[in-house]
């Protein structure tokens, strides 16, 4: 029986908080499991360094992902090469799995237009900051694949718990249900939409059960358990591409998790949540959980963990060097890429900017 055939209240788990097996371990080869662990360590270290760069004035606002590595890596590893990923703004870890270099992520948050350039063939949409706006886009992409008879590829869309209160969520999932599109809707329920807690966002008992209204499958998974996330996402992607006669293609996955840090570097979570709550969730940290499992099953040892730690540090340091030595972008690029051709409003803004730039020079715009 598919792991998806259960009640949206019945959370899928594979590893408990101590890394002990409490469910069906998915069929993942040893190398990929260790790779998942390495990606999670890389995402965590990158995150720590990115926050520190912002604090030092070397980068703009940045949305941290620590705590969410299990959901990001566990889900992204399940994607096939030809599938598509439609991210929100926090999916740096998932994007890494798809082949987006860390340098690109840094450039994006440094305000560099080049950070929006996705590598050829990585099949990633650019990050979406307007909440839930990427959901109808993802449904549209899924529908396009179906119309082109390419529904052997799926589109996975990431968004947060807060996004499920937006009209775009409703419209995107409703269309997906009606047109039976090859979509996986992956909700990162990290308990907070900035300072608004989960229980103030919706009266629904779970977010997964919202799927019922659209006639699609909804499933809740422990989002801090990378193996459970992998199992559920893999089954949902498979169903999106190869549904049985009585199955629908789309699935809504609610991955229950927590962001350990601030919403973004512009936020101070200590004013709206208790240390006690944070500590409770830190005990569920996905990284030591997977590490314990991998050590106990002989897939990792001290030596390989040390080697991973070293290589992760080096990779992040190299990415920071590469991003910081990239030439500063020309500010007029801000106006050039939203549309293939500038609209009259954008053109007027561009001309105003050019006039100011000529008058005040670069110094007029830069705060050093
Ligand atoms: C349409 C829209 N409204 C408001 C905002 C401001 N905003 C940025 S992030 C955020 C909260 C989103 O919470 P959630 O969907 O849970 O995602 P998370 O950041 O927790 O991953 C809000 C309201 C926005 N970016 N877009
Ligand atoms: Mg949230």
Q: Determine the Cα–Cα distance for residues 8 and 314; give it in Å rounded to an integer.
A: 42
Active site residues per annotation: 259, 263, 272
Distance 157 CA to ligand 2 centre (A): 15
pLDDT in tens, the chain (368 residues): 689 988 888 999 999 999 999 999 999 999 999 999 999 999 999 999 999 999 999 999 999 999 999 999 999 999 999 999 999 999 999 999 999 999 999 999 999 988 988 999 999 999 999 999 999 999 999 999 999 999 999 999 999 999 999 999 999 999 999 999 999 999 999 999 999 999 999 999 999 999 999 999 999 999 999 999 999 999 999 999 999 999 999 999 999 999 999 999 999 999 999 999 999 999 999 999 999 999 999 999 999 999 999 999 999 999 999 999 999 888 888 898 888 899 999 999 999 999 998 998 888 876 65
Q: What DSSP state is assigned to residue 12?
A: B
pTM: 0.95
CA-to-CA distance for 297 and 306, rounded, in angstroms? Answer: 18
Atom of ligand 1 nearest to the CA of 188: 21
Contact 228, 22 (CB under 8 A): no
Domains of the chain: residue spans and CATH: 30-324 (3.40.50.970), 331-364 (no CATH)
Q: Which ligand is nearest to the CA of 164?
A: 1
Query: Residue whose CA is closest, atom 11 of ligand 1?
Result: 193
Give me the numbers of helices (H) and strands (E) for the chain, helices first please. 12, 7
């Amino acid at each position: 029986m598919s792991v998806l055939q259960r009640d949206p209240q019945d959370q899928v788990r594979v590893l408990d908080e101590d890394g002990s097996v409490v469910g069906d371990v998915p069929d993942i080869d040893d190398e990929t499991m260790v790779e998942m662990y390495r990606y999670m360590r890389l995402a965590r270290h990158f995150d720590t360094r990115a926050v520190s760069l912002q604090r030092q004035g070397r980068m703009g606002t940045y949305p941290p992902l620590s705590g969410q590595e299990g959901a990001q890596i566990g889900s992204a590893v399940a994607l096939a090469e030809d599938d598509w990923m439609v991210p929100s703004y926090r999916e740096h870890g998932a994007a890494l799995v798809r082949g987006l270099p860390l340098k690109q992520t840094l450039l994006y948050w440094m305000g560099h237009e080049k950070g929006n350039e996705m590598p050829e063939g990585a099949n990633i949409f650019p990050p979406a900051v307007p909440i839930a706006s990427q959901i109808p886009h993802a449904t549209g992409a899924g529908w396009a694949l179906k119309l082109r008879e390419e529904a052997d590829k799926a589109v996975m869309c990431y968004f947060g718990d807060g996004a499920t209160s937006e009209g775009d969520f409703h419209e995107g999932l409703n269309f997906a249900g009606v047109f039976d599109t090859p979509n996986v809707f992956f909700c990162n329920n990290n308990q907070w939409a900035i300072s608004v807690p989960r229980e103030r966002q919706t009266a629904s008992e779970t977010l997964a059960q919202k799927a019922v209204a659209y006639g699609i499958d909804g499933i809740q998974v422990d989002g801090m358990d990378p193996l459970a996330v992998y199992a559920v996402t893999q089954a949902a992607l498979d169903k999106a591409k190869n549904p049985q006669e009585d199955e629908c293609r789309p699935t809504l996955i609610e991955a229950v998790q927590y962001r350990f840090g601030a919403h973004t570097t512009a936020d101070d979570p200590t004013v709206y949540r208790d240390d006690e709550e944070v500590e409770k969730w830190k005990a569920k940290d996905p990284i030591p959980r997977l590490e314990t499992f991998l050590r106990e099953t002989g897939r990792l040892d001290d030596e390989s963990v040390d080697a991973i730690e070293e290589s992760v540090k080096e990779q992040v340091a190299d990415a920071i060097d590469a991003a910081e030595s990239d030439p500063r972008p020309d500010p007029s690029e801000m106006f050039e890429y939203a549309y293939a051709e500038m609209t009259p409003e954008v053109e007027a803004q561009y001309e105003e900017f050019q006039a100011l730039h000529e008058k005040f020079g670069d110094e007029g715009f830069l705060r050093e």
